[in-house]
Amino acid sequence: MHDIADLESRGVPGVAIASTEFVQAATLQSKVLGFDPAMVFVRHPIQDRTDDELRALADQAVEQILRGITAP
């Protein structure tokens, strides 16, 4: 979240991406940091997924990510 906040403060659009396990934590941290980033959550867990499974997660999230970085 700190990285996205830093990018946004420099005028670089960003999207926070995390697994669904971290929805509450990401929401709380963004409030503490005082900004409302675009956020995309993918199915949990991520850690032990195969390359093919990770590609599938990315494919499912790419539209949301693109919308997040191109939104006005």
Would you state the pLDDT for residue 37? 93
Which residues, in sequence order, are CB contacts of 15 under 8 Å at separation 6+?
4, 37, 38, 39, 40, 64, 65, 68, 69
pLDDT tens, position by position, 38-66: 999 999 999 999 999 999 999 999 999 99
Domain extents in the chain: 2-70
C-alpha pair distances (Å), 30 with each of 35, 43, 45: 6, 20, 22
Residue 72 confidence (pLDDT): 77
Confidence at residue 71, expressed as pLDDT on a 0 to 100 scale: 86
